[in-house]
Chains A and B, each alone.
Chain A
Amino acid sequence: MTELFANLGQGFSVALSWSNLGFCFTGVLLGTLVGALPGVGPVATIAILLPVTFTLDPTGALIMLAGIYYGAQYGGSIVAILLNLPGEISSVVTTLDGYPLACQGRGGEALVVAAVGSFIAGTVTTLVIAVGAPPLSRMAQAFQPTDYFALMLLGLSLATVLARGSVLKGIAMVLIGVFLGLVGTDVNSGVLRFTLGIPELAGGIGFVPLAMGLFGIADIAINLEGAKDTRARLSAKVSRLRVPWATWRRALPAIFRGTGIGVVLGVLPGGGSILGAFAAYLFEKRSAKDPSRFGRGAIEGVAAPEAANNAGAQAAFIPMLTLGIPSNAVMALMAGALTIHGIQPGPQVITANADLFWGLVVSMWLGNLMLLVINLPLIGLWVRMLDLPYRFLFPAIVLFCCIGAYAVKFSSFDIVLTAFFGIAGYLLYKLGFEPAPLLLGFVLGAPMEENLRRALLLSRGDPMTFIEHPLSLSFLILAALFIAAGFMPRFSRVRIGSAED
């Protein structure tokens, strides 16, 4: 206990310096902006700002970059709820119930619940990190490739069952997603796979073009075609910011459940905020008394994933800061930032660079506080900014997608790729597919193959290894249960009921 207070105290003394507060503020503000803009994400922004941080001290640099990361979760929720555009991958789930809420004129409620939920999650996670970083890292060290693979398979099974369409189509989407994740250079053999002779594809399909094309362009095209309902004006979506107590009564427990799920899944590799958000949503839907509410504006469907994605984003720092293992692209960039400043990421950071570690942890909480205080009053401003008639809004979105796609690798090819996936997204929509599971399959594709290879190599080709390892076995059983449940008639009826058409 005293150790905890001592550590936190040290953290506060570092984080409350004027310069570090300034970095924190800049980071979260920039992060919100970047998260809200479809087409520019925290990964690209952090990558772009990495050189800028050369001149800063490592603590300040990490504080700012971290602020961008979890700030983007806030920003992503705003566009997810108001525009049905996932600003970040983890916001995909927020669109499912957030956007219907907005269309019902309850967008303000959704935004407030999301913001408060994220703050609560951030506070809890900060405490968790402070208390549990050492033992958690010890637990994660025990993971074998078999366990990683089974965990990712579990994640994918969650994604298929999550899809609003049929589970079968969800499985197909995941399969295609995994396949797309394998396009490029095979890490093991150096062979080019499915690159169709295009040199730019040797590095694989970029996440940004894929996500923006599938979600952004396809959505615009569909809206403009008039095949969907015309968008209600945004001001109608955010009529008030006060949240009735009845809503809080539903939302608060969901927030805490989401936080728990987010922390656990955020620590584990491969997820960060995404897996937690998906899992939290699914958990809420499955444990609700009336699952058919989901997809139509169930507040738990916003509260839980929003809490989970914030908890997950912060918890994702744990493996990087305690083990030196980045669990996603952003963490890899953070690790890079550390290395640039001459700090070797690994278990020794927590003791050798205690100021950095605890300062960062505390500043994450301060950043969450700033986000809550700044963003709620600003919602009115955000709304007015976004409340342009659609014919003004969509060219801006197109523009941001163009620039965002280009800015990742400064390659015009990526812009073409985005357009291609836009066509694909349009096609998939007409055929009744849901793109979200594809995205998850894509992100996990290459790591899954890597772990599968290693697992089978270690076991000399024996597939029983997945059953012999207890962790792997439990993950696989869960995965099978989820998929089976998805096929069950009672559940399917509920899901088809919430399918859009």
Chain B
Amino acid sequence: MAQTYRTRAMALIRRRDVAAGLFLLAFGAVIVAGAAGLRIGTPTRMGAGFLPLALGLLLALVGLVLTVQGARSADLLPKIVSLRPLIALILAFLVFALMVEEAGLALSTFVVVIVSGFATPGRKWRETVLYAALLALFAVLLFVVLLKLPLTVWP
């Protein structure tokens, strides 16, 4: 019996709008919790937390309605084919953020393009390295020389 309940619950969450609705419900709850720490005030003299509280409550409400709607619809969550591209992209950004001030634009660009290369499987590495160097040159020309952004080029 417990088994059936659990599988039923899992089947429900797999429905897209149920997952979406629960997400909104949770988000709304978090906002309300955060707003509770701020002064709410009255409509006449609105505190910092007034509008966030209202937003959080509304969001939770929408989430609730969406969850109920979702339980009745057949739309399922789309499959996650691969998280590799997303992770590679995020890493590329983080690397750039860490590098750009210390290592300068040229090196950061070079590394970022290499890291982005991981996003697609089956890369030809020579091509990627060459392209990275090319983009690094182009970036320096465009942003530092042409647009005169005050970015450091080398470490």
Contacts and interface: CB of A to CB of B under 8 A. Distances in A.
Interface of A: 45, 48, 52, 168-169, 171-172, 175-176, 178-179, 182, 186, 188-189, 191, 193-194, 217, 220-221, 224-227, 391-392, 394-396, 398-399, 401-403, 406-407, 410, 412-413, 415-416, 418-419, 422-423, 426, 430-433, 449, 452-453, 456-457, 460-461, 463, 501
A182 B81 CA distance: 35
Given A395-B117, A399-B112, A456-B43, A432 B81 contact: no
Contacts of A432: 16-17, 20, 75
A87 to B, nearest CB: 16
Contact of B93 (A418, A452, A457, A461): A418
Given A48-B149, A398-B113, 18 more contacts: A48-B147, A175-B62, A179-B31, A179-B56, A182-B51, A182-B52, A188-B48, A194-B31, A221-B86, A394-B116, A402-B100, A416-B97, A419-B93, A432-B16, A449-B51, A453-B46, A457-B44, A461-B43
Contact of B94 (A194, A227, A416, A460): A416
Contacts of B74: none
B58 A217 contact: no
A225 B81 CA distance: 6
Contacts, number: 174
Interface in B19-76: 19-20, 23-24, 27, 31, 34, 38-39, 42-49, 51-52, 55-56, 58-59, 62-63, 65-66, 69, 75
Residue of A179, A226, A412, A461 with most chain B CB atoms under a 10 A cut-off:
A179
A186 B85 contact: no
B11 interface: no
A179 B65 CA distance: 20
29 contacts: A48-B149, A168-B62, A168-B69, A175-B55, A182-B52, A182-B55, A188-B46, A191-B39, A194-B34, A217-B90, A224-B89, A225-B80, A391-B123, A396-B135, A398-B93, A398-B116, A399-B139, A402-B96, A403-B143, A412-B101, A413-B97, A415-B93, A415-B97, A418-B93, A422-B90, A431-B20, A449-B46, A456-B44, A461-B42
A169 B21 CA distance: 9
Contact of B48 (A191, A407, A413, A423): A191
A412 B100 contact: yes
A191 B50 CA distance: 13
Interface of B: 16-17, 19-20, 23-24, 27, 31, 34, 38-39, 42-49, 51-52, 55-56, 58-59, 62-63, 65-66, 69, 75, 77-82, 85-86, 89-90, 92-94, 96-98, 100-101, 105, 108-109, 112-113, 116-117, 119-120, 123, 131-132, 135, 139, 143, 147-151
4 closest A-B pairs by CB: A461-B44, A224-B85, A419-B93, A415-B97
Given A224-B119, A394-B116, A176 B59 contact: yes
A225 B93 CA distance: 18
A172 B52 CA distance: 14
Contacts of B24: 172
Contacts of A48: 147-149
Given A189-B39, A395-B113, A456-B43, A178 B55 contact: yes
A394 to B, nearest CB: 7
B94 A406 contact: no
Interface of B is mostly: helix
Contacts of B147: 45, 48
Nearest to A423: B90
A402 B135 contact: no
Contacts of A430: 77-78, 80
A191 B38 contact: yes
B84 to A, nearest CB: 8
Contacts of B19: 431
A412 B98 CA distance: 7
Contacts of A45: 147
A463 B90 contact: no
Contact of B63 (A172, A227, A419, A501): A172
A193 B52 contact: yes
Contacts of A220: 85, 89, 119
B106 to A, nearest CB: 12
B38 A193 contact: yes
B93 A402 contact: yes
Contact of A189 (B16, B47, B66): B47
Nearest to B123: A391
A52 B98 CA distance: 29
B44 A460 contact: yes
Contacts of B56: 179
A461 B34 CA distance: 24
B148 A431 contact: no
A186 B48 contact: yes
Contact of A221 (B89, B109, B117): B89
B93 A395 contact: no
Nearest to A425: B86
Contacts of A178: 51, 55
Contacts of B55: 175, 178-179, 182
B81 to A, nearest CB: 5
Contacts of A501: 78
B109 A399 contact: yes
A233 to B, nearest CB: 17
Given A399-B112, A461-B43, A415 B51 contact: no
A322 to B, nearest CB: 31
